[in-house]
Structure 1
């Protein structure tokens, strides 16, 4: 009988606030900060310091790591709900709904990681750049690609739209800036001048200046030519002209350049801990500064002329025209305002689009490489920190994990802190300062915890108060293992624990309750009762569940097993070629598994120390291994980023769980085996839950073979079509999509639908012929067509293809099937809602098979009919859209007039009341004047 197993699937990921390889941006509302966290990203409420919304893909994978984020925000109503876009490491682009956090569409076009994203001013077009050197323009509303721009010779690093989305500026690591005309789809201008890779650029909101940064010691500033601007200084096709260079404070390369919403500030972040903030002066201030500069220059010239009179030399003074109308230079416009210095290396910056607090010029948010987000307020005097988000993750990699006996608390350690988590929700409950924790465990009772550090100290932590109550100098070297001593029944008791260290000692400890003073309550302490001396560094220690044996892994690649009561030698397990880094004993005490730096797992019998099996488990060092309680199933993790599930009886690999983006250091399994928690160098903690879905080993083996075959096929296609030697022509334009599994399956579905429809048409013709011959048999339609006619059935299949995959699916069709598909276009064009789809299909097929169609006699009449029909149908659709737009504008005017009518009436009434009050006041003033006049005349008399 074939044995079935229960599947483990990814359930939760937490511990990452901001990935160092992505940027941070504000959401369309400007209230929340979007920060990537490996394969997902979250919207953070900076004031509360909590995530408000999470944007996650359906299946976590290192290939889906978020590489860049872009948002679209406008005071006008957005053209689409997809106002957030994210680029990923596999080259895909995802469009997200900003309100619900759901993925609206996935766009495939790039062959490598997306490196730049930018929405146009209308929000209807999205531009994406990638490491494959290509730029793709996407239609956000139709969720399909428009065209591909080729010309850069290296990674595209930044994109900027100009002239209301009619032009696009791109910079690359090939040291050039290119200006593209999106109407004609060609390169207008190539701007050089940088001596190293260009990493970032940005344009101010008024599109007057464009600033670019590289590893050069200065920023380059360009003036942007308006579409209506003409002048003798400009060449005919030029859009950018060098205005000047700004010297930078730092010697490190520029990482990000950003203007604020008003355009009066520009921030230049370098690949270090600083960000230079420049003030952009308006024209009046720039001219005033230029006048002062010319005045100082004049004074210097006059001083030189005075001193030169005695020598008989003549120096030309400045002309009066230069002093009256000085021309501002770049240093007159851009003035260094502040230098922001962060505590750690800055990864990305973003200005808040909302109005800053009173007295501030702007609000600037940073992501740091130690998993933190910080927000600063910028004013003319200084830069001050406003908010900081750091509690939700470790600042470095996670080195150990431990679950308490109830599985409701999870403890993780890193280089300077211990964190207590809720493993069900991923919330951080406590953060406790500590040393570099390499191992940890909960004390029975779950009130205290023990942490072994790299410096050799043993820290006792009070879970309730979240504080370290005692630090004991336990070892002279780093403590690698802490293991609780179980009782004879296999349950963890209060007998004590064992520590193993690099100082060659294995120490046995007992718990004590100590009262330091009469007023203090009793607290936990420990005392050393026994010490087992070894001949080499101790790398791992494990105790059998019955408490009978203790196994010690040494640096000499062996594992020594001793009797725990007498400490007498029992077994020696040898066979690994490199040191054993981890091991575990099954709950029945019959098997011991060891994981080594030689990438192998070895399963041994505890009776005689015989090696049952040696398995090549990981492609790098095995870092941790654990048995599931009361089973012979086990989990292993390694530096190859994989989590693997094994059957130790059959020596078979059951599952491979992918999700971590860096080396996996540790794992912890719940007491019931219903979930597994893993910690990684990428600072994330991932929980994998056991489901009720069953699987079989044979099916998983076949699935892994298919994945390997498909990966090799993708690599072969990448080598053929993405090799740098096959560089594209200068400024060429290509198709947007790329061949994927989805496009291949879509093409197969269209071909199957065409064959099915052709067979159905033949059956219908045969049935009509039989009816004419007097055979009135009832026609039985094909059940696969679900009651549709052949034409409607093919139309439904083509309509179900995703818009972004349609072009590549049609390109995969052979000419015979393309000809069949074109025969249906005339009938489909009569459906009003399918005119756009028919035009797209017709355009792609004509461009692909133009030569064959023009030489095929049967296709000429079909093309002639389609020409007249499609022109007429498209004109009708344009007229209908224009009529609807005009009607909507008229309705909008009517609604605005109705909404404004009560206010107009109220304003008119208010004006009447004010006029009446002024008349009354004038009348009363006249009466008062007459009274005072009478009193004055009577007094005089």
Structure 2
């Protein structure tokens, strides 16, 4: 941010303003009935997150064991969870507090279901038993045995006035339990694999079951017999019945029919006719995806189906619009490999996360997107000068161009593929777009070549994802993998950095090699051009950062400070400073003129692979191996203003202190001296009062008012003054004053008060050390009688852990 003079402002401080971490790491996920909160497992914990803005309401802390499942009561008041510790916990969803905890089964609980009155919870375990519990009181009401394997699904069912419980197991059987009779009333056999889903028809007459045997069965609950079997042609992981009169746009045969949905290993939500078993509608498959669906959440109010995918994403599909994806929540990011700001106002972050997809994060809201297209892990990203286009390089040996319209309402309109660069024979590790136009792009690969791609023929208004730009030249650039490419601000030259320890400078026009920068002792991970000078900066595995001249290719400066590989580096503050990140998990801010590190930012626990700046340099984004994205805000001006204000306040306080001393306003003078941390002035005040004691004065310190002030010290002030006394006590000239004030403190406070002070033993041990060392050197200690009286007791006081403090008067 420029100063009034127009000169660039040196940056000295950044603060972490937002950390984007995991919301769901696999396992169970659900959404409350009011559709306001996402509840999902994070390892051993459960997070409750606002589904609209992404803010975590609270975290339900676990017991060091992974959560196996949980259930939300229909009234939304409670959550029941279980973990591998075999304990059930009941949580209050309003406060986030655990109301009770108790052991439930002899093996982990796999599934749960809560009855519609929110009174009972059924648990199915790996010990082959089904139990029913009273939620409010936490006791077991039913214990059902009969299954021969792990319980895999549960469903409460009300048959007229009788409560029934239906369970499925990996013994391939479905059992119906009568809660009144406390017995099994039916065993339904037809499936040949584990039962993964159960649901009751809207009229309560039929049971729908789904299994990994790739079929769904419809059962008559009155006759306890199989009615129909529907082939689904995929391993079913979840199944459910839609509410009556659900209408799907553009699907005429959906009107007036009862429908059910399935999800499984194909990763596609499909809706079927419950009577005929015919497919009514299938979601359009995402391109080049490998995930399956582990669960589907049905939101009745908004008419959404939410797919919980095996790659920990939560995808929202609108039933009414024909299963169009309208929202997605990214549950877990793998290692963050690269990231860039995109959009006209740089309101979004495009992120490569060790997967085939690119994640598009809206920084200001919880509306995120997943960009499908690559067939293998995306390694690198670069944006256009206006932030409207993105290029990505992948292990599938291709680079893809994307048009970004973050303001579009429809999800499919926000990201459109514009072309694919095909020609490299190995993974693409570096991509770059020009700074003034969108006429070309440059890619570098593990095949050690750089390619110049002509983009002038692309019609970006039509966005043909199959269009393949032509290469105007290809050069064998390095002897090892190419890690980084940077184009100069005038688009005339570009630089490449490689594992072969060199940086090479090339002409953009014809790809002619202009020069080689040698000096790094290990591979070069990043190169960047200066925005204002004929220089480039590089970072390397040799833990150094170097600035090079693009005129004679000599090394101008070397920066040392990182304790491991420096992975990213960039110029900042108009080339006056550098910002870097490394394998040591640190971000460092450097002054180019002095070679000094002026700030270190620490909020990562693993390698920081990705580092990017907004154009106005007000924010820096970083991402690393800890799967975290941190946003850092430049707070240099705020800190400068705060420092100036603090200095002004300090000057005013010091003036007030001088005025209090002149007026002999001891109370305010002592309190202010302590707050300003000025022990010398406090010592001078106490010594002056002690030396000017009026004859016949019976006070301890020479002033009764000071005695009273000491008696009213807060615990914090008392601790501070005792530390001052310990330091004063080391100088024989201050011995009398320090012992006097210590005596006044002991007379004013009980032994219990003193023992409650932080570090009291260390403070008093310090006083004892000096007293023993110097006591023998004093031929005669000239003191008033009360000081002599104190000295007789002081040895007992100075070791409070071995014996009691001196007897109180």
- Give the structure-1-normalised TM-score: 0.47
Rounded to whole Å, the distance in 2 between the matches of 1:681 and 1:379 is 50
Distance in 2 of aligned mates of 1:142 and 1:467: 43
Q: Which residue of 2 aligns with 1:479?
A: 428
- CA 1:651–1:413 in structure 2 vs 1: closer, same or farther (change >3 Å)? closer
Show the counterpart of 2:225. 333
Q: Aligned residue for 2:40?
A: 67
Query: 2:175 maps to which residue?
Result: 221
C-alpha displacement at 1:501, in angstroms? 1.5
Is the 1:571–1:609 Cα contact (8 Å) retained in structure 2? no
1:364 aligns with 2:261: yes
**SS state of the match for residue 152, structure 1?**
coil
Equivalent residue for 1:137? 90
Contact 1:374 1:389 in 2 (8 A): no
The change in CA–CA distance for 1:185 and 1:502 in structure 2 (over 3 A counts) is closer
CA-to-aligned-CA distance 1:507-543 (integer Å, 9 cap, x gap): 3456646899xxx9xx996652462443233333345
Q: 1:111-260 residue pairs with structure 2 within 5 A? A: 111-119=64-72, 126-138=79-91, 145-161=98-114, 168-180=121-133, 186-187=139-140, 190-192=143-145, 194=147, 196-206=149-159, 208-214=163-169, 216-226=170-180, 229=181, 239-241=182-184, 243-244=186-187, 246-250=189-193, 253-259=194-200
For the residue of structure 1 that corresponds to 2:555, the secondary structure is: coil
Distance 1:426 1:674 in 2: 22
- Listed as ranges, the matches of 1:259-408 within 5 Å are 259=200, 262-268=203-209, 276-283=215-222, 286=223, 332-341=224-233, 351-352=241-242, 356=246, 358-364=255-261, 378-385=274-281, 386=319, 387-390=322-325, 392=327, 401-403=339-341, 406-408=344-346
CA shift at 1:5, angstroms?
1.1
Q: CA deviation at 1:218?
A: 0.4
Equivalent residues in 2 for 1:533-544, closer than 5 Å: 533-542=477-486
Cα distance in structure 2, aligned partners of 1:652 and 1:380: 71
CA distance 1:4–1:263, shift in 2 (3 Å): farther
Q: 1:688 deviation in Å?
A: 2.6
2:619 is matched with 675
Q: Please say if residues 110 and 151 of structure 2, whose CA atoms lie closer than 8 Å, have aligned partners that are also in contact.
A: yes
Matched, 1:567 2:479: no
Who is 1:28 aligned against? Answer: 33
**Deviation readout 1:716-746 (Å, 9 max, x if unpaired):** xxxxxxxxxxxxxxxxxxxxxxxxxxxxxxx
Native 8 Å contact 2:198 2:207 kept in 1 = yes
Whether the 8 Å contact between 1:177 and 1:190 is mirrored in structure 2 is yes
Give 3-state SS (helix, strand or coil) of 1:564's partner.
Answer: strand
SS of alignment partner, residue 503 of structure 1: coil
Q: CA deviation at 1:221?
A: 0.8
Question: Residue 45 of structure 2 contacts residue 59 of structure 2 at CA under 8 Å; is this kept in 1?
Answer: no
Question: What SS is found at the alignment partner of 2:28?
Answer: coil
- Counterpart in 1 of 2:311? none
Distance in 2 (alpha carbons) for counterparts of 1:665 and 1:195: 50
Query: Among 538, 546, 549, which residue is 1:604 paired with?
Result: 546
Q: In the TM superposition, what are the counterparts of 1:761-910 in structure 2 within 5 Å?
A: none
Match of 2:323, SS state, is: strand
1:646 counterpart (579, 584, 588): 588
The total of aligned residue pairs comes to 555
Q: Does the aligned pair in 2 maintain the 1:507–1:532 contact within 8 Å?
A: no
RMSD: 5.6
Shift in Å, 1:173: 3.3
More displaced, 404-413 or 471-480? Answer: 404-413
More helix by share: 1
Q: Quick check: 2:78–2:93 contact (8 Å CA) kept in 1?
A: yes
Q: Secondary structure at the match of 1:615?
A: coil
- Partner SS, residue 424 of structure 2: coil
**C-alpha distance in structure 1 between counterparts of 2:157 and 2:458, whole Å:** 66
Indicate the residue corresponding to 1:7 in structure 2: 15
Tell me, yes or no, if the aligned pair for 2:40 and 2:47 is still in contact at 8 Å: no
Unaligned runs of 5+ in 2: 1-9, 248-254, 282-318, 406-412, 549-553, 640-710, 715-751, 753-809
Contact 1:401 1:412 in 2 (8 A): yes
**Contact 1:23–1:348 at 8 Å: present in 2 too?**
no
Normalising by structure 2, report the TM-score: 0.54
Contact 1:19 1:369 in 2 (8 A): no
- Relative distance call for 1:93 and 1:3 in structure 2 (3 A) is closer
